[in-house]
Amino acid sequence: MMTMVSDAQVLLLAAVLTGAGLAKLLTGEPAPQRPEQIHGIQVPSAEPGWAVLLRRSRPVAVVHGLVEVALGVALMLSAHPAVRVATVLLLGAATWVVGELRQRTPDAGCGCFGALSDERIGRREIARAALLTVAALATLGGTADGMQVLTGGPWQTWALCALELAALTALSREPAALLRRRRRPAVPCERRRSPLRESQKILRRSRPWRRYRALLDSDEPLDVWREGCWRFLAYPAHRDGRPVEVVFAVSTAHRDRTVRAAVLDPAPREDAPSAPAPATPTSQATGPSTAAPGAAVLPVPPSREHRSTEPPSPGNGAETALSAAGSSAAASHEHHDGEPAPPGTDVAQAAPPSSGSSAAASQGHHGGELTASAAGSAAVKASGGCRCAASAVGAGGSKAGDAAAGAPAGGECRECARQYVMSR
Amino acid sequence: MPQPDGALRRLRSRAVFDLPAPPAGAVPDAPPRAVRGTIVDASPHLLVLDTAAGEPVRLPMAPTTSVWHGGRSGPQALTPGREAIVRLDADGSVAERVWVDITRVTGTILSCDRDGRQVEVDGGPHRGRTLLTIPEDALRRVLVRHPMLEPGYLMDVICVRSPDGPRAVRPGTSQPGHPADRIVPAPADAPSPQTVQGSATWFDGPAAGRAAGAAYPAVDPEGDAGGCADAPQGCAPLPCLSRGSVLIVRNECSGRALKVPIVECGCVAARYCDRCVECGTSPRGRIVELTPVGFAALGGDLDAGCFNVTLDFTATAAAFHPAPEGSP
């Protein structure tokens, strides 16, 4: 009889320890329920204690989880007394720590099953830990390991183990927390609080990051900001000896996150009209009369040939100029989906088609080679982001200019068309 | 905190998505109808303001020009050295309304004396704490709409500047019935539409400046976005944006619309789940706080406190475009 009870405890403890350890490793820390500040005023913290510090430490939680999994496996594979004594000590210490946490910071949850144990610590958590300690003490007299019980144990042992597991489940709040997690409504990506660390983690696993990593001057971004579903990270970089910016957009969605990237060429504004940068084919394609003085030149998105694993070389393929008034940045941009996208995917095609003034820009994007071969130049002006085609001096440029003049665009585009007319 | 270069950010984000700019011209970028400055000289026919931007601005006055200085006043309130906010008429030629030394105190009550004459208000991490004086004649009006003058409750009053600090004149809006830290946020799964309706108020503080701008309740706290880490979720489902992002704000009472950049995190506004009843009843939620110039340029009366507003996020194109695949 005593052997049967002892064997049932071995199975029970192996299951509970393995489950608790995996929960700690997989679910992470529960979010703290008490903010450090409320409306700028420091919330007085609870009296600090060693148990609280241990509870909040993620490395401690990981080590604890690994030890629990190891003990659970060891209970199944070995009947050595050292394994059982270690189990008794671990569960006894856990009972003590849960009692201490209940005194100090009951709101933080016990963390017994990782983030699932985020409810206020009550008597039942202490009772559960104490009962498991008693169960561990009961295993000290047994001689069979878990696998022997599992394969050759009587049905009474199984029944007792199942009964104890059911009682433990009834005593625990974690099953309800698990159900709540599965039912929790998903926060829309534009409202979801996405930590910067999460975005950086996604970014560094993405293909655009691997592609442009070699260009970056630093791992520290120049600017990090958020617009709805996207977090943007702009990095300083160099390409072909020229300073550029690489801008990544990381989705803030809960799952299926994508990463996009663009390389912006911060050509000096004064270079655009009179002194095109020799390394930028865009500048060669841009007629001096098309860019307003003081405007920067943004090379057009490269053609599909540019979407290889290697960064495009200067002078390879056609590019359209985008002049950006009010900004010193000029962009030669390349688009990439995140990891799910196959190599060479043209993201711009997946985006909804631009309308109005963007029509010319889209034409320049998808038909970059055509524009270059036919005219050798085409210019698209984006003043404050508004984009319209402007003429390039030379054959073929007039059509683009006419398209711009007739485009139903906003003020910048009208100004662009006016400049085109004056340039002729 | 320096204001980020919103134009450069928009350029970068559009480059990533190959997005066109929103149609320009429909909504003016700059407020053509409001000016804020220090009074240099004043006469019944002319008001000269120093706006700290080059030459002083000369604004014609008319007999119909209304002057506010702690209540309805006259040209005698236009003393050199005082600060004035002027709203021009529809033609932009004559001063329509002038508010002199107007300010506003919004935030959580930290303490108040027994008589309710001195109230310390926490305006959040950006605006700091203010010791507000409520004179006897204003106390009744304030109490009518702020029955809970107790620590932990919210306060919002229109004030006039005085050497002893802001002096309450009248309540800005009605006090929410709940304590500041008990907000019922929007449902977690509620999506943000491209236009959101609610209540707009104005704020005064270091970020208010002399241009149009907005304090937006849902500024992202990470990176250089400029949000407050402890800002609560408001009761309107707003998308996360950054300082420098542009909003199109439409005053539903006057019909005027304006593009304004976000200049501050509106973590105080997020605590107000109230309505404005200036022209009809707005949906619940204080969705934007405007700078005084922006508020006046949109046709708002600074001494009235609020107007019904529609926020349009299409100027921040990347906020909704393109939706990531598989987003919940």
**Residue A175 has which token pair?**
């099953």
Q: Which residues of B touch A382 (CB under 8 A)?
A: 11, 14, 21
pLDDT by residue (tens digit) across A126-147?
Answer: 999 999 999 999 888 788 888 8
Q: Which of B194, B216, B327 to mutate to test the interface with A (most CBs of A within 10 A)?
A: B327
CA distance A418 to chain B (A): 16
Contacts of B89 by beta carbon, 8 Å cutoff, 6+ apart: B95, B96
- Is any Cβ of chain B less than 8 angstroms from the Cβ of A229? yes
A380 touching B (Cβ < 8 Å): no
A1 secondary structure, DSSP code: -
Nearest Cα of chain B lies from the Cα of A225 at a distance, in angstroms, of 5
Closest A-chain CA to B10: A385
- pLDDT at residue A30, as a whole number: 45
pTM of this prediction? 0.61
- Chain A residues inside the 8 Å CB shell of B222: 194-196, 199, 224, 226, 231
State mean pLDDT over A378-390. 32
Predicted pLDDT at A111 = 83
Calpha distance A39→A45 (Å, rounded): 15
Cis peptide, bond prior to residue B322, ω within 30 of zero: yes
Per-residue pLDDT of A248-289, as tens digits, reads 999 998 877 889 999 988 654 433 333 333 233 222 222 222
How close B253 gets to chain A, by Cα (Å)?
A: 27
- Residue A349 is predicted with a pLDDT of 29
DSSP A193-255: ---HHHHHHHHHHSHHHHHHGGGBS-SS-SEEEEETTEEEEEEEEEETTEEEEEEEEEE--SS
Of A195, A258, A362, the CB nearest to B222: A195
User: Nearest Cβ partner of B7 from A36, A327, A357?
Assistant: A327
**For position A151, what pLDDT does the model report?**
83
CB contact under 8 A, B11 and A230: no
A262 → chain B, closest CA residue: B16
Which pLDDT score, from 0 to 100, does residue A297 have?
Answer: 26
ipTM of the complex, rounded to two decimals: 0.90
CA distance A7 to A11: 7
Burial class (CB in 10 A: 0-12, 13-18, 19+), A309: exposed
Chain A 139-198, residues with CB within 8 Å of chain B CB atoms: 184-196
Residue from B9, B13, B18, B224 whose CB has the most chain A CBs within 10 Å, to mutate: B18
Interchain contact A326–B (C-beta under 8 A): yes
Nearest to B7 among A40, A326, A350 (CB): A326
Integer Rg of chain B from CA: 20
Phi first, then psi: give them for residue A48, nearest 5 degrees: -70, 155
Decide the pairing of beta strands B214-216 and B286-290. Answer: antiparallel
Confidence label for A184 from pLDDT (cuts 50, 70 and 90): low
Across the interface, whether the CB atoms of B321 and A298 are under 8 A apart is answered no
Q: Residue A42 — very low, low, confident or very high, per pLDDT cuts 50/70/90? A: low
Give me the tens of pLDDT residue by residue for chain B, a chain 328 residues long: 667 788 888 888 888 888 776 665 556 665 568 999 999 999 989 999 998 888 899 999 999 999 999 999 988 999 999 999 999 988 888 999 999 999 999 999 999 887 768 999 999 888 889 999 999 989 999 999 998 888 999 999 999 999 989 999 999 998 988 888 777 778 777 888 888 999 999 999 888 888 889 999 999 988 888 888 778 888 889 999 999 999 999 999 888 899 999 999 988 898 888 888 888 888 888 999 999 999 999 999 999 989 999 998 887 766 665 554 433 3
CB-based contacts of A385, cutoff 8 Å, min separation 6? A324, B10, B11, B14, B19, B20, B21, B22, B317
Give percent above pLDDT 90 in chain A: 20
Closest to A246 in 3D by CA, of A232, A264, A260: A264
Look at residue A411 and tell me whether its pLDDT is greater than 60. no
Q: Does A43 touch chain B (CB under 8 A)?
A: no
Q: A269 and chain B: CB distance < 8 Å anywhere?
A: no
Q: State the pLDDT at residue A119.
A: 78
How many contacts, defined by CB atoms under 8 Å, are there between A and B? 244
Which residue has tokens 């989705």? A251
Across the interface, do B10 and A385 touch by the CB < 8 Å criterion?
yes
Name which of A22-31, A298-307, B73-82, B148-157 the model is least confident about: A298-307
User: Looking at residues A199-203, what average pLDDT do you find?
Assistant: 92
Chain B CB within 8 Å of residue A31 CB: no
User: Vertex B237, ends B234 and B238: CA angle to 5°?
Assistant: 85
CB contacts, 8 Å: B11 with chain A:
264, 324, 327, 329, 331, 382, 385
The pLDDT score that the predictor gives to residue A383 is: 32
Identify the band that residue A208 occupies on the pLDDT scale cut at 50, 70 and 90.
very high
Interface test with B, best of A199, A225, A412 (most B CBs within 10 A): A225
Which pLDDT tens digit goes with each residue over A322-370?
Answer: 333 333 333 333 333 333 333 332 333 233 333 333 333 333 333 222 2
Quote the pLDDT of residue A305: 29
Instruction: Flag whether pLDDT at A177 surpasses 90.
Output: no
Note whether A319 and A300 are within 8 A (CB): yes
Q: Is the Cβ of A69 closer than 8 Å to some Cβ of chain B?
A: no
Judged against a pLDDT cut of 90, whether residue A377 lies above it is answered with: no
A351 and B321 within 8 Å at the Cβ level: the answer is: yes
Identity of the residue in A187, A257, A262 whose CB atom sits nearest the CB atom of B188:
A187
The answer to which of A17-21, A296-300, B230-234, B287-291 has the lowest mean pLDDT is A296-300
Q: Point out the residue among B20, B180, B220 whose CB comes nearest to the CB of A356.
A: B20
B191: distance to nearest CA of chain A, Å? 6
Q: Count the neighbouring beta carbons within 10 Å of the beta carbon of residue A166.
A: 10
Spatial contact of B63 and B94, defined as CB atoms under 8 Å apart? no
Q: Does A230 touch chain B (CB under 8 A)?
A: yes
Q: Which residues make beta-bridge pairs with B109?
A: B121
Q: What is the pLDDT of residues A83-134, one digit of tens each?
A: 999 999 999 999 988 888 888 777 777 888 887 887 778 888 899 999 999 9
Instruction: Give Cα A233 to chain centroid, integer Å.
Output: 12
Instruction: Check B8 against A327: CB less than 8 A apart.
Output: yes
At residue A276, the pLDDT reads: 30
- Distance from the Cα of A186 to chain B's closest Cα (Å) equals 6
State what percent of residues in chain A have pLDDT above 70. Answer: 54
The verdict on a CB contact (< 8 Å) between B320 and A324 is no
Is A234 in contact with B12 (Cβ distance < 8 A)?
yes
A157 to each of A19, A85, A130, how far by Cα in Å?
Answer: 20, 22, 22
